[in-house]
C-alpha cells in the first residue's frame, strides 16, 4: 500500500465518518455525470460562469437554496462550509447541526459536510446535476475534500497560503503545506478517472490593499504546487481592486504568467482558468448602492475576460444573505453578462510591463531559496518576508509592506519591506502617489482607501 493510501485510511477512519467505501467512491467518480465537473463546463462554454456564495446548516435548507439558484439560472453551485468543520471540530459541528434541525434556528454559518456525510450529500448534488464548488478556509482539509469528492463536488477552492495568511494567527504554515499536498494528490488521482477535478486558489487574500504583484505571485505559487502533484485543471483568481485599469492589467499579466510558469515545470498541458471575485472589501449599507457596485464588478469581470465570476449580494453589509437576495444577484449578473456586448480592448503596456517585472523578480527570489522542494522555498520566502501580505493576521507574515491608493485608486507600494520589488518599479509606484504627507496623514489615507466603496 502506498504511503498516501495509508494516510487516507487513517484520515477516513475518523470517528465522525460513517465507513468510507473507497472502491464505491472510485466507481462513483468514474461514472459520474460530466455535468458535475466544472472543468468540463470550462471546456465547452464560451460564456462566463456565474457562481454565488452560500451554505446553510441543514440538508433541507441547502436543498432549498439550490432550488432558488437553479431558478435564477446559476452555472455553478457553491457549498460553503461552517467554521467548526473548517477548524476540524466535528464534535461541535455535529451538536450544532442537531440544534439547528431541532430548533429551526441556524447555529452554524455553513453546511457541515463531514457531519452530513457523503452518502447524504451526494443525493443532493446528483439531483441538481450542476457543478458544485467547495468553499471553506480550512488549513487541514484532508477529510473535508475526501468527503466532498465522494459527494460529487469536483471543484475544491483554497490552498496552503491563501487559506492561512488571511484567516489564522497561529496555525503552523509548514503543516498547512503538507496537508494541502495531500489534497493535491487526491485531486490528481481522481482526475485520472473521468474529467479532471478543478482546483481553485483564493486570490482575494485579506481583500485590504493587497497589491497585484503579491496577489499574482501567490496565485502562481499555489498553481505550481498543485500542478507539480498532477492536478490538470486549475483556476487562478483575484478580486476587484478598486481601479478598473489595474484590474484589466492584473488579468492580462496573471493569464500570461500562469501559462508561462506552468510550461516552466512541464505542465503546459494543464488547463488554467481565471476567476474574478466581485468586490470583497467593505460594502455600502445602502442595498441599492450595493447592487450598483455588484453590477460594476460584473462589467469589470467582462473587461478582464474572466472564465468565472463569484458574486456578492445586496445584503453584504448586513450579515449572512438570505436565499432570495443570493438568487437575485445570480439573475442580475446573468442579465448584465447577456447585454454586455462589444467590449473595447483596453491594453496598458507600461503598467503591464511594471507588474510583470515585479512578479518575475519576486518569483526569482523564491526559486533562488536554497531549499530542496518548492513548498519549502515558498515557506522560507514567507518566513523571510520576500512574500508579505498587507493586513495578514498571521504571526509569520512580516507586515513590513505599506500600500496606498493613487489618484486613480490603483493600489501602489510605498514601502516594500523585504519584498524584492525592483528599484525601477518601486520608483514608478511611488511616483504615482503623493508622498509629502506625515505618517498620520498616510494612516488617514489608508483608512479612507479601505472604505472607498462605502
Partner 1 sequence: MKVITGVVGNDIHVVANRLIDLSLQARGYEVFNLGVNTYLEEFFDAAVETGAEVLMISSLNGEAEGWAREVKLLKAKYKQLDELIMMIGGNLVVGSGNTEDIVSRYKNYGFDLVCHQVDLNTGLDSLEAFINDGKIKERCQ
Per CB under 8 A, does 392 bind partner 1? yes
Q: Residue 76, SS3?
A: coil
- Kindly tell me the sign of the dihedral angle through the C-alpha atoms of 43, 193, 218, 11: positive
Q: Which of 58, 73, 206, 245 forms a contact with partner 1 (CB under 8 A)?
A: 206
CB of 279 to partner 1, least distance (A): 16
C-alpha cell at 232: 490538470
**Which range touches partner 1 (CB under 8 A), out of 30-38, 143-151, 303-311, 442-450?**
442-450
Strand runs labelled E in 292-380: 308-310
Task: Give CA separation, 368 vs 364, 377, 380, in Å.
Answer: 6, 8, 11
Min dist. Cβ of residue 141 to partner 1 (A): 19
Is 212 in contact with 241 (CB distance < 8 Å)? yes
Which pairing describes strands 132-135 and 77-80: parallel, antiparallel, or unpaired?
parallel
315 included as an active-site residue: no
Which one of 391, 406, 412, 428 is in contact with partner 1 (CB under 8 A)? 391
The active-site residue out of 53, 122, 135, 157 is 157
Site string for partner 1, 80-119 (x = CB under 8 A): ----------------------------------------
Ramachandran quadrant class, 409 (left: phi over 0; alpha: psi -120 to 50; beta: rest): left
CB of 394 to partner 1, least distance (A): 8
When asked if residue 169 is in the footprint of partner 1 (CB under 8 A), the reply is yes
The rounded Cα 70 to chain-centroid distance in angstroms is 23
DSSP tag of 342? S
Is residue 122 flagged as an active site residue?
no
Q: Which residues contact 281 (CB under 8 A, 6 or more apart)?
A: 207, 208, 242, 450, 451, 452, 453
Between residues 165 and 387, which has the closer beta carbon with respect to partner 1?
165
436 scored as a contact of partner 1 (CB under 8 A): no
Work out whether 419 is an interface residue with partner 1 (CB under 8 A): no
Q: For partner 1, which stretch binds (CB under 8 A), given 5-13, 24-32, 370-378, 434-442? A: 434-442
Of residues 371 and 395, the one with the C-beta less far from partner 1: 395
How many C-beta atoms lie closer than 10 Å to residue 441's C-beta?
12
Among 86, 115, 88, 80, CA closest to 100: 115
Grid cell digits, residue 112: 457541515
Regarding 417 and contact with partner 1 (CB under 8 A), the answer is no
* Residues 222-261: x where in contact with partner 1 by CB under 8 A, - otherwise, as a string: ----------------------------------------
CB 54 within 8 A of CB 321: yes
- Residue partners of 337: CB distance under 8 A and separation at least 6: 47, 48, 50, 298, 302, 309
Stretch that binds partner 1, among 24-32, 84-92, 236-244, 443-451 (CB under 8 A): 443-451
Q: What are phi and psi of 115, to 5 degrees?
A: -65, -45
Site string for partner 1, 344-383 (x = CB under 8 A): ----------------------------------------
Which of 8, 86, 142, 314 does the annotation list as catalytic? 86
Q: Is 438 in the site for partner 1 (CB under 8 A)?
A: yes
Q: How far apart are CA 339 and CA 359, in angstroms?
A: 35
Gap between the Cα atoms of 87 and 335, Å rounded: 38
Which span sits near partner 1 by CB under 8 A: 26-34, 98-106, 135-143, 435-443? 435-443
d(Cα 70, Cα 125) in Å, to the nearest integer?
A: 12
Residue from 37, 66, 167, 379 touching partner 1 (CB under 8 A): that is: 167
Q: Least distance from C-beta 264 to partner 1, angstroms? A: 34
Query: If binding means CB under 8 A, how many residues of this protein chain bind partner 1?
Result: 20
Considering only 84-92, 320-328, 370-378, 393-401, which stretch makes contact with partner 1 by CB under 8 A? 393-401
Residue 447 has a CB neighbour count (10 Å cut-off) of 9
CA 219 to chain centre: 9
Residues that bind partner 1 (CB under 8 A): 167, 169-170, 206, 208, 390-393, 395, 399, 402, 438-440, 442-443, 446-447, 450
Q: Give the active site residues.
A: 86, 157
Amino acid at each position: 500500500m502506498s504511503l498516501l493510501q495509508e494516510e487516507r485510511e487513517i484520515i477516513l477512519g475518523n470517528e465522525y465518518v460513517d465507513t468510507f467505501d473507497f472502491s464505491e467512491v472510485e466507481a462513483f467518480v468514474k461514472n459520474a455525470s460530466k455535468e458535475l465537473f466544472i472543468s468540463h463546463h470550462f471546456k465547452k462554454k464560451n460564456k462566463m460562469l456565474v457562481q454565488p456564495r452560500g451554505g446553510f446548516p441543514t440538508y433541507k435548507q441547502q436543498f432549498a437554496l439550490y432550488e432558488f439558484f437553479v431558478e435564477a439560472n446559476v452555472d455553478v453551485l457553491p457549498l460553503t462550509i461552517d467554521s467548526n468543520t473548517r477548524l476540524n471540530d466535528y464534535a461541535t459541528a455535529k451538536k450544532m447541526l442537531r440544534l439547528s434541525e431541532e430548533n429551526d434556528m441556524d447555529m452554524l454559518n455553513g453546511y457541515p459536510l463531514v457531519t452530513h456525510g457523503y452518502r447524504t450529500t451526494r443525493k443532493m448534488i446528483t439531483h441538481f446535476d450542476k457543478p458544485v464548488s467547495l468553499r471553506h478556509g480550512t488549513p487541514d482539509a484532508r477529510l473535508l475534500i475526501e468527503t466532498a469528492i465522494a459527494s460529487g463536488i469536483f471543484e475544491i477552492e483554497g490552498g496552503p497560503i491563501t487559506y492561512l495568511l488571511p484567516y489564522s494567527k497561529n496555525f503552523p504554515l509548514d503543516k498547512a503545506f503538507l496537508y494541502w499536498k495531500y489534497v493535491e494528490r487526491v485531486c490528481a488521482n481522481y482526475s485520472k478517472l473521468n474529467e479532471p477535478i478543478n482546483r481553485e486558489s483564493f486570490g482575494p487574500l485579506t481583500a485590504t490593499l493587497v497589491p497585484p504583484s503579491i496577489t499574482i505571485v501567490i496565485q502562481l505559487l499555489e498553481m505550481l504546487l498543485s500542478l507539480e502533484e498532477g492536478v490538470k485543471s486549475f483556476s487562478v483568481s483575484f478580486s476587484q481592486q478598486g481601479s478598473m485599469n489595474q484590474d484589466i492589467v492584473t488579468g492580462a499579466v496573471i493569464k500570461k504568467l500562469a501559462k508561462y510558469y506552468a510550461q516552466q515545470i512541464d505542465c503546459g498541458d494543464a488547463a488554467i482558468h481565471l476567476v474574478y471575485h466581485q468586490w470583497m472589501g467593505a460594502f455600502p449599507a445602502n442595498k441599492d448602492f450595493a447592487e450598483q457596485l455588484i453590477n460594476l464588478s460584473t462589467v469589470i469581470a467582462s473587461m478582464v475576460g474572466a472564465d468565472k465570476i463569484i458574486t456578492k449580494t445586496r445584503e453584504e453589509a448586513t450579515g449572512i444573505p438570505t436565499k432570495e437576495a443570493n438568487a437575485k444577484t445570480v439573475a442580475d449578473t446573468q442579465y448584465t453578462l447577456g447585454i454586455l456586448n462589444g467590449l473595447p480592448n483596453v491594453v496598458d503596456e507600461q503598467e503591464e510591463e511594471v507588474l510583470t517585472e515585479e512578479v518575475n523578480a519576486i518569483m526569482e527570489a523564491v526559486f533562488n531559496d536554497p531549499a530542496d522542494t518548492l513548498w519549502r522555498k515558498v515557506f522560507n520566502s514567507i518566513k523571510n518576508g520576500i512574500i508579505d501580505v498587507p493586513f495578514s493576521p498571521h504571526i509569520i507574515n512580516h507586515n513590513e509592506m505599506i500600500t496606498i491608493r493613487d489618484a486613480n485608486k490603483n493600489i501602489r507600494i510605498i514601502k516594500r519591506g523585504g519584498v524584492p520589488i525592483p528599484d525601477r518599479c518601486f520608483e514608478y509606484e511611488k511616483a504615482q502617489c503623493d508622498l509629502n504627507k506625515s505618517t498620520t496623514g498616510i494612516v488617514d489615507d489608508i483608512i479612507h482607501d479601505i472604505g472607498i466603496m462605502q
